A and B are shown apart, each in its own frame.
Chain A
Amino acid sequence: MNDKIKEPLFHIVKRDAPPISRALAVRAVAIILAMILCGIVTTVTTGLDPIQVYESLFVGAFGSRRKIWITMQNVSILLLIAVALTPAFRMRFWNVGGEGQILAGGLAAAACMICLGDKLPNALVILCMVVGSLAAGALWGFIPAFFKSRWNTNETLSTLMMNYIATQLVAFFTIVWEVPKGSGKIGIINQDSNVGWLPQLFGSRYILPILVAVVITILMYVYLNYFKHGYEISVVGESEKTARYVGIKVGKVIVRTMLLSGALCGLVGLLLVGGINHTVTTTIADGQGFTGVLVAWMCKFNPLTMVFSSLLIIFMNRGASEISTSFGLNQSYADILTGIILFFIIGCEFFINYKVQFRKKSAKEVQ
């Protein structure tokens, strides 16, 4: 061993609860650094001018009135999914079954549109769709919750498996309902009668999901922070032992919360099928059930800040596909950029909570 070991180059020190301004500043720096790195990667790998690339990134998301509306609509769908998953996550119930719950809700909505479309008046069909999709989503949430509360099964596995069941169910019914026969897809449902199409508000088809997302996000914030139910969810999430100690029925809270979480995912399915796509396919949720998990985590399960993180992700997503088309790059390139930015945003949490202390230059080192 050396006579004198050198002081380590740096060591890590925990910060005390950092002020919000600091945390925001760290995040801003992270995004700027990520942008710079993306620029470098772009120039090195494609030889394009990074400024131009950023410009088209922005154009892709906000370049025209219609693009802005679509961006907003996508943000509201992703936000709704993240908010729907949040109560479960606050309870430390790892609901990765958003995808399946959305599909279940969407399938129920489509079923109402197809089977009841010519039998009931439009308003009644829509009512059936709302009830049906909420119930189907809730059922998809209930099953893993029931297993968890009764037999303490692992909810990550069971919610994940429920996704496959939902996907296969949709695939099955796609064949049952396919139009025309042999095409392998359902196509636009009730294209002529528009029965079961969710109404346009203020003459725009984009406003309904946005409005629903705003209302649900605020309600969820209130529910989680000011309701007795929200308090119970937090206690169960922090410690089931504490919950039992004060007489909270843990199983009941788990089931109740997953019914809510699933029903809200079902609502997203309704919006996608009845309001936006007017059809159902196995890929209608498009992986957003998982992206929603990321959004919820990034915001530490605070519904209000999820507005910003879902905006960021949708912005990147839409901007990136613009880049890939206008510069002849493919979608993978867009994914690389999104990955870099997410890496920085998630990584900067470390610098918010810890600081790195470098070795002080001191005379003692010179021996």
Chain B
Amino acid sequence: MMEAGNAAVSMRNVSKSFGAVRANHKVDLDIYKGEILALLGENGSGKTTLMNMLSGIYFPDEGQIYINGTERIIRSPRDAHALGIGMVHQHFKLVDVLTAAENITLGLHERLNIRETTEKIIDICNRYGFDIDPEQKVYDMSVSQKQTVEIVKVLYRGADILILDEPTAVLTPQETEKLFTVLRKMRNDGKAIVIITHKMHEVEELSDRVAVLRGGEYIGSVRTCDMDVSEMTSMMVGHAVSLNIHREEPRGVKPRIEVKGLTVRNDEGVLKLRDVSFTANTGEILGIAGISGCGQKELLEAIAGLQPVESGEVVYVEDDGRRESLLGKDPLSISEMGVSLSFVPEDRLGMGLVANMDIADNMMLRTFRKGRGPFTDRKPSKKLAKEVVKKLEIVTPGITTPVRRLSGGNVQKVLVGREIASEPTVLLTAYAVRGLDINSSYTIYDLINEQKNRGVAVIFVGEDLDVLLELSDRIMVLCGGEVSGILDARTADKNQIGMLMTRKGGSEHHE
């Protein structure tokens, strides 16, 4: 069993269930020193659960974990630290009001000596090429800096086994490249690195080996260079999947939403959008690129009537050329105007859906006012729920299951399914495939393309530039709340967009 002395971690027969849900079933996994292992699997295949058991957050129902050849029991994250295992979670676990150094030493049972700590942090940074200021407060940091703090925190505790859960989800291409360089350096330093990601090109670029989970079971592992993306995907899904986004030429392009000089401040009075102007056309997908927090959320919410606007205008152009302003109207009055505007927000369970309600009741959110009298009519929403579940292949015990129990991909399908069901003329989507596996992602892309071909004006806020380039017709890049360029997606390239994302200016291309 215990082959190869350099296996840093060997998990044997590890199982974990949550009630009736079998998250992991008899998983055998080896992680070696000096390699980067990509852990692949669809949403709900048990990747995160497996890694949480390794880092002491969950305790396995069954099975053994060997660290460097010795069987170990990991009861808590502290045990995991002691064994040199560190995990960087998808959602950062940092205290905003503390400095980087304070966050890094938080929870350690040692006397806090700022000078020594700072020296040690700088030492780690120099070794791997990180760039952080130990005295900087976390609330002043960008997403990528916060992630760096998380990684340094793990290294500071002497981790030799590093687990990163979707580390690139929030990074720009340049930041991702930087992270990969660091990870390669760590690998060459003899550390074992596990990365969970849904972006297949990153898997190809970075990893030495891939291990695949499907339905909680271990399917196998292969050297990355021996396999291509479509083979990996079929291994994950269990059958062959086509990985093409079929982009048709836009037809019947007419202006639908015209935004002029839009300026928005958030609740704290911070300027989030400055003088943004663009047009979204029918039958076209307008991609929006930008580092997270650059005003994408405010832009979509301003159009959807959820965000007070300081100045500027948002005009809806009807089929017959009539123009109506959407400003100062809430979602109810927008729909009472006869404008069918659908919005798939970033915060799915906190805004788009009600987590504790079942699928049918969530379908009713947009339509519960229909019908006279004080009673709700649940029949149509039940019917719609059944249709959506069937059409989008949502994995659920039934339409009376609360949506919080569904996996990320299925939650998103419920939301997108409902928003599309109202046959919108405008579809706004924010990070529609964030956290979704490759199979679900392509289902969503197909649905969005279907809407475009129906003549819907689609605004697609995305983070994966490869996808934005493949899916959109035009791409608008936001930087610090301003439009830094609108490009033709068929001719633009990734670097160009990356540059615009971080620096305003550059050449502007219009169609």
- A109 vs B398: C-alpha distance in the bound complex, in angstroms? 51
Q: Does A239 sit at the interface, judged by CB under 8 A?
A: yes
* Centre residue among A4, A13, A232, A245 by max chain B CB count within 10 A: A245
Contact indicator A231/B376 (Cβ below 8 Å): yes
Which residues 14-43 of A sit at the B interface, judged by CB distance below 8 A?
14-17
Is A6 positioned at the interface, with any CB of B under 8 Å from its CB?
yes
* Residues in A whose Cβ lies below 8 Å from that of B357: 234-235, 238
Are A228 and B354 within 8 A (Cβ)?
no
A244 to B368, CA, bound (A): 14
CA distance A234 to B21 in the complex (A): 27
Whether a CB of chain B sits under 8 angstroms from the CB of A350 is no
Q: A227, B331: Cβ atoms under 8 Å?
A: no
Number of A-B contacts (CB under 8 A): 92
B2 within 8 A of A: no
Q: Closest residue to A236 on the B side, CB-wise? A: B354
Assess whether A13 is in contact with B61, with CB atoms less than 8 Å apart: yes
Q: How far is the CB of B393 from chain A (nearest CB, A)?
A: 22
Question: A182 near B: Cβ within 8 Å?
Answer: no
Contact indicator B368/A231 (Cβ below 8 Å): yes
Residues of B within 8 A of A363 (CB): none
A13: B residues at CB distance < 8 A? 17-18, 61
Task: Indicate which residue in A1, A8, A14, A249 contacts B75 across the interface (CB closer than 8 Å).
Answer: A8
Judged by a CB distance under 8 angstroms, whether A326 is at the interface is no
Residues of B within 8 A of A4 (CB): 70-73
Q: Nearest chain-A residue to B76 (Cβ)? A: A8
Interface size on B, residues (CB 8 A): 42
What does the 1/0 interface line of A351-367 toward B look like (CB < 8 Å)? 00000010000001000
| Residue A247 is within 8 A (CB to CB) of chain B in the complex | yes
Separation in Å of the A31 CB from the closest CB of chain B? 25
> Which B residues touch A148, using CB under 8 A?
none
CB closest residue in chain A, given B74: A5
B356 lies within 8 A of A244 (CB): no
Interface size class of A (residues with CB under 8 A): 20 to 34
Q: Does A7 contact B (CB under 8 A)?
A: yes
Q: Which one of A1, A230, A245, A248 contacts B352 once the chains associate, using CB atoms below 8 Å?
A: A245
> Taking A234-B354, A238-B355 as contacts, is the C-beta distance between A246 and B365 under 8 angstroms?
yes
Shortest CB–CB separation between residue B189 and chain A, in angstroms? 24
Report the minimum CB–CB distance from B111 to chain A (whole Å). Answer: 20
Which residues of B have CB within 8 Å of A241? 347, 350-351
- Chain A residues contacting B374 (CB-CB under 8 Å) are 227-229
Closest to B347 in A: A241
A242 touches B375 (CB 8 A): no
Q: How far is the CA of A245 from the CA of B354 in the complex (A)?
A: 11
A228 touches B306 (CB 8 A): no
Q: Does B236 contact A (CB under 8 A)?
A: no
Interface residues of B (CB under 8 A from A): 17-21, 59, 61, 70-73, 75, 79, 82, 304, 306, 330-335, 343, 345, 347, 350-357, 361, 364-366, 368-369, 374-376
Given contacts A8-B73, A14-B18, A17-B19, 5 further A-B contacts (CB under 8 A): A4-B73, A5-B75, A226-B375, A235-B354, A246-B365
Q: Can you list 15 A-B pairs, Cβ within 8 angstroms, ordered by A?
A: A7-B73, A7-B75, A14-B18, A227-B376, A231-B368, A235-B354, A238-B356, A239-B354, A239-B355, A242-B353, A245-B306, A246-B331, A246-B365, A247-B332, A247-B334
